[in-house]
Amino acid sequence: MIRGLSASASRQIAVFERGHGLPAGEVAHAFRRWNKSVRQPRGEPEPFYERDDTDLRNGDYHIRTLLEMTLHALRSKARRELSAVIGPADERVLDRTLNNPFAPQDLPWWMRRIGV
């Protein structure tokens, strides 16, 4: 459960998790880990999944990727709600990092950042 989301948004997330073979609560777990990771000291490892049995089918096991996939699967109101609760952590990452000009441009923004 992610605090600040409506019951409808929470149900849509549960449907997303079931549809992707994820355990119940996996998106909430990724959300908590993303928030925790942005508060850790610089130089800490990137927040990837500890296991490789997720059904994301894209080979990217970064926890922010799961949150992004979830955002795209939700209806607009639920998407706005989840985006609003993810936003502060994203802003913190953007504030603490710089764009890596050498990273492949097809990577998502959170994988093209370097710590300063």
* Residue 64, burial from CB neighbour count under 10 angstroms (0-12, 13-18, 19+): buried
- Residue 53's pLDDT band (cuts 50, 70, 90): very low
Neighbours of 56 (CB within 10 A): 16
From CA 33, how far away is CA 39, in angstroms rounded? 10
pLDDT per residue as tens digits for the range 96-112 = 999 999 999 999 999 89
Task: Please state whether beta strands 113-115 and 97-99 pair in parallel, antiparallel, or not at all (unpaired).
Answer: antiparallel
Arithmetic mean of pLDDT, 72-98: 96
Task: Please check the confidence at residue 69 and state whether its pLDDT lies above 60.
Answer: yes
CA gap 3, 80 in Å, rounded: 14
What pLDDT sits at residue 43?
56
Using DSSP, state whether 84 is helix, strand or coil: helix
